[in-house]
């Protein structure tokens, strides 16, 4: 009898322990990716932030101030995949936004999938899925751990910004279809028809109300953390001669893709915020004891950075407005999930270089690749050396793909051809370093550009030669900013945690983007993503 009572007590104790364990977990994990957010935007624009957005995260949570990407190329697709899988393109396989598929002899898109159909649009904009991502995300592992009871929803303006973070097993990923539609859509990878709450959102006035004039949130004279509004370093919109405030979006929209113009304004972030808040209620996220995941990616910051550049008034205004959207989002989380019942992290998929033409104007080394001249020089080399320019299948993403069959047919040694090409292009004016694929796989693990290249190199998907441009030298227009390098302006991004289970504080200790997924996995007590190579940031967890 005592044995039975004792056993009963043990069972009761186990149940209490399980209940406490369940209660100690957040009801909802919210991952926020701010596309093209350099770390220094947190400090440059801090005086203009309110108390409820970025500052709330910094004051109530943990700020990793020395957080970097540990691979190249630093693009949107690889960035989102790395944040959620806890590994680099070397393992998860998303080596760029698009890349040359040497097995199919064509370019492929990181989220493109001809095997699925669009849902919510008659166009092919919904033919997307995460099938090219080779590993699981922490959202996938949470779904497996909870026997698929914990939900995962991805939301973004960009398809890849919603799809890759949500992972393979997500309940849904939604992205914005602009043009004449202005709706959120998805694919048959997730469902065959939109839920009622999404249809209700699309049928409402949520998007069209933002088709208005974009003026600065505050008096423009207070925007002293950015350059002159009128300058020669910005792109702007078709139909407006100068890239300066204000912008009449309704008037400009016909020449700028209809609703697509909103992507390149802060209102694109507001639309994503509106939709994410609608998802909280529509999907009943954080309402039971099974942790849910909401992956939110703010993409308009990237469109605006590409268009206007790092130092623009437009970028400053965008971050001040995003700060207000974050406050609105956090207030909704407090109300719908419960203050102290959710956990949030915020980071970015990459940074951005300051406009090289601007840098040169202040005597900082920078420049642009002369693609036509470089291509002609390379073709001349190939013809003079091998009497053929047909040994090259593709040049993209700073990679060269060779035609192995033609090289073999000419009786040439593949590795000797690779080495000769490396020795040629490393002398080009804009090229800083170049490597053969064989050299990359045998590089050491020193903390330098070679390791970054190695971590971004996928043996099956990457090219035969990889090259790296000089600092602040880009292949881009003379206006606006871009990204992709392993330099600090592209690798140094914010990493903020706050909410349930998170310590208060900050550190200058080096952290890596691939540390996020293992840290969230540890917080939830679930398996790490199956390819994760990052470390647990134990000093973040309370």
Catalytic residues: 76
* Dist CA 82 CA 94 (whole Å): 9
Distance of CA 71 to the CA centre of its chain: 14
Contact at 8 Å (CB) between 293 and 345?
A: no
CB atoms within 10 A of CB 282: 17
* Dist CA 430 CA 498 (whole Å): 42
Residue 410 Ramachandran class (φ > 0 left, ψ -120 to 50 alpha, else beta): alpha
Contact at 8 Å (CB) between 111 and 130?
A: yes
Residue 541 Ramachandran class (φ > 0 left, ψ -120 to 50 alpha, else beta): beta
The radius of gyration computed from the CA coordinates of the chain, to the nearest angstrom, equals 24
**Vertex 278: Cα angle to 274 and 282 (nearest 5):** 170
* Dist CA 42 CA 146 (whole Å): 36
Strand-strand pairing, 431-436 and 106-109: unpaired
Contact at 8 Å (CB) between 268 and 322?
A: no
Around 25, how many Cα atoms within 13 Å sit in the side-chain half-sphere?
26
Q: Where would I find the H helices in 93-243?
A: 138-145, 159-166, 196-203
* Dist CA 297 CA 315 (whole Å): 17
Burial readout 16-27 (b: 16 or more C-beta within 10 A, e: otherwise): eeeeeeeeebbb
Around 161, how many Cα atoms within 13 Å sit in the side-chain half-sphere?
28
Around 394, how many Cα atoms within 13 Å sit in the side-chain half-sphere?
19
């Amino acid at each position: 009898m005592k044995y039975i009572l004792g056993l009963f007590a043990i069972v009761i104790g186990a149940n209490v322990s399980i209940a406490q364990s369940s209660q100690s977990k957040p009801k909802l994990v919210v991952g926020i990716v701010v596309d093209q957010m350099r770390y220094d935007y947190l400090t440059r624009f801090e005086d203009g932030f309110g108390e409820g957005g970025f500052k709330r995260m910094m004051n109530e949570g943990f700020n990793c101030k020395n957080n970097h990407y540990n691979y190249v190329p630093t693009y949107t697709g690889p960035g989102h995949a790395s944040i959620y899988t806890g590994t680099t393109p070397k393992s998860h396989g998303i080596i760029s936004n698009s890349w040359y598929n040497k097995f199919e002899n064509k370019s492929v898109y990181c989220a493109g999938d001809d095997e699925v159909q669009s849902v919510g649009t008659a166009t092919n904009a919904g033919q997307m899925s995460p099938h090219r991502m080779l590993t699981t995300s922490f959202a996938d592992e949470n779904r497996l751990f909870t026997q698929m009871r914990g939900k995962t929803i991805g939301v973004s303006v960009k398809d890849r910004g919603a799809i890759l973070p949500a992972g393979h097993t997500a309940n849904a990923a939604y992205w914005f279809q602009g043009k004449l539609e202005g709706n959120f859509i998805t694919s048959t990878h997730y469902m065959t028809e939109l839920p009622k709450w999404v249809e209700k959102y699309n049928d409402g006035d949520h998007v069209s109300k933002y088709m208005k004039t974009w003026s600065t949130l505050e008096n423009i004279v207070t925007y002293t953390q950015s350059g002159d509004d009128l300058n020669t370093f910005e792109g702007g919109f078709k139909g407006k001669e100068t890239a300066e405030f204000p912008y009449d979006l309704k008037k400009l929209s016909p020449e700028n893709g209809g609703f697509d113009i909103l992507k390149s304004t802060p209102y694109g972030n507001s639309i994503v915020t509106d939709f994410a808040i609608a998802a909280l209620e529509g999907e009943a996220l954080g309402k039971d004891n099974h942790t849910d995941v909401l992956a939110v990616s703010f993409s308009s910051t990237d469109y605006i950075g590409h268009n206007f550049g790092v130092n623009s008034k437009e970028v400053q205004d965008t971050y001040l407005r995003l700060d207000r959207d974050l406050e609105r989002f956090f207030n909704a989380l407090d109300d719908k999930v419960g203050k102290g019942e959710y956990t949030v992290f915020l980071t970015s998929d990459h940074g951005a270089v300051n406009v090289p033409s601007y840098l040169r104007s202040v005597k900082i080394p920078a420049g642009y690749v002369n693609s036509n001249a470089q291509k002609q020089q390379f073709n001349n080399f190939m013809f003079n050396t091998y009497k053929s320019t047909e040994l090259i299948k593709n040049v993209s993403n700073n990679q060269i793909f060779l035609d192995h069959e033609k090289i073999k047919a000419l009786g040439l040694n593949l590795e000797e051809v690779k080495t000769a090409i490396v020795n040629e292009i490393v002398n080009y004016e804009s090229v800083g370093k170049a490597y053969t694929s064989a050299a990359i796989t045998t590089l050491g693990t020193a903390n330098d550009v070679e390791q970054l290249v190695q971590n971004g190199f996928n043996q099956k998907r990457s090219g035969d030669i990889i090259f790296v441009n000089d600092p602040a030298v880009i292949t881009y227009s003379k206006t606006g900013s871009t990204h992709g390098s392993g330099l600090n302006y592209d690798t140094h991004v914010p990493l903020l945690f706050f909410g349930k289970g998170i310590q208060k504080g900050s550190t200058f200790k080096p952290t890596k983007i691939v540390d996020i997924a293992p840290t969230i996995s540890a917080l939830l007590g679930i398996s790490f993503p199956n390819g994760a190579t990052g470390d647990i940031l134990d000093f973040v967890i309370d």
